[in-house]
Structure 1
Amino acid sequence: MRSKLLLFLLVPLLFIASCEVKESDEEKELHEVTKVIDGDTFWIDDNEKVRLIGVDAPESRNTGHKKIGYYGKEAKEFLKSYLTGKRVQLKYDVTRTDKYQRTLAYVYLEDGTFLNAELIKLGYAMVYTVPPNVKYADQFLDLQREARENSRGLWGKEDNK
């Protein structure tokens, strides 16, 4: 009877342990950043365009639909300075690509810096969540609130620049 009880308790625990979400080999891979497009988009390995999940940096150039945004050039320059010559690790949420076929990712530098969060924390981007990719939405909102309260980056006063 005791062994049946032990088995009854142990099997669910083993099942739960086996269901634990683990980082895939693909998510452990490091990718070389080859070009920065703007404050929230860049290319890796010369063939894959990556869009940061959960953030929206102001536009850094005029396009057919959008104009240069306040603090857009600064956001792009910051991302360039952070990523030039670096390798990054990509982690994914529910949806892997967007309607433009860009890879959607949370990005980590080799030193462990969580790039998406860093952009919001320093005021180079604002929170932009698109369900179902909302894993860090609460954390990002807290960082944005802190950046605004401390007038960091795009939350600073325009006339002080």
Structure 2
Amino acid sequence: MKSKLILFFTFSFIFFNAQLKENTFYTVSKITDGDTFYVMTKNSEKFKIRLIGINAPESYNVGKKFRKEYFGKEAKVFATNLLKNKKVKLTFDVQKTDRYGRILAYAYLENGVFLNQYLVENGFAVVATFPPNVKFVEVFTKAEKLARKKEVGLWK
């Protein structure tokens, strides 16, 4: 079993690195919720992206584990308005994928806005860091404190 996992992660890493490049802009093709969306390559390949270091409320029920949460619909609408038919530049941290096969990334809008931070500072997501992907934990913590102080989004 252990060797199968190692093989899977090795294959995933090689496949992933061959498909998505860091600091490259990709077109957003679909928004799943406030912290997850799909990008499309020039070859029309789609990849599911999960923003690192933050967590937005769930906008719909997913099985028994993930239930629709307060402010989930608002977080998805906010993310959709920011991302629909736009391009994002992706950067990465230590881990490239999560246990669900999603690509873990930090995203930047074409105007330079750091999406992960922007969602937190506007109250549409909270800090949720998981080592070893902790590159911006201080940035996100400061953004959440600011959102709470301004009483925006979730903190109204």
Q: Provide the TM-score with structure 2 as the length reference.
A: 0.82
Is the counterpart of residue 32 in structure 1 residue 27 in structure 2? yes
Counterpart CA distance in 1 for 2:92 and 2:84 is: 22
Give SS of 2:119's match.
helix
Q: What is the rounded CA distance, in whole Å, between the counterparts of 2:23 and 2:135 in structure 1?
A: 19
C-alpha separation in 1, matches of 2:103 and 2:91 = 10
Amino acid of the structure 2 residue aligned with 1:69: E
Percent identity, aligned pairs only? 47
Where in structure 2 are the equivalents of 1:1-161 lying within 5 Å?
26-45=21-40, 46-64=45-63, 65-156=65-156
Distance 1:154 1:107 in 2: 21
Give the superposition deviation at 1:26: 2.2
The letter for the 2-side match of 1:113 is V
Partner amino acid, structure 1, of 2:81:
S
Cα distance in 2 for residues equivalent to 1:57 and 1:144: 12
Tell me the C-alpha RMSD between the 2 structures. 1.2
Offset of residue 93 of structure 1: 0.5
> Following superposition, which runs of at least 4 residues in structure 1 exceed 3 angstroms of deviation?
none
Which residue of structure 1 aligns with residue 14 of structure 2?
none
Counterparts of 2:59 and 2:21, CA distance in 1: 31
For 2:61 and 2:23, how far apart are their aligned partners in 1? 35
Count of aligned pairs between the two proteins: 132
Q: Tell me by how many angstroms 1:59 deviates.
A: 0.5
**1:127 CA drift (Å):** 0.2
State which structure, 1 or 2, has the greater radius of gyration over its C-alpha atoms: 1
Letter paired with 2:52: I
Structure 1 residue 68: deviation in Å? 1.2
List runs of 5+ in structure 1 lacking aligned partners. 1-24, 157-161
Give the distance between the partners of 1:27 and 1:110, measured in 2 at CA. 14
| C-alpha distance in 1 between matches for 2:138 and 2:72 | 24
TM-score (norm 1): 0.79
In structure 2, what is the Cα distance between the partners aligned to 1:132 and 1:58?
23
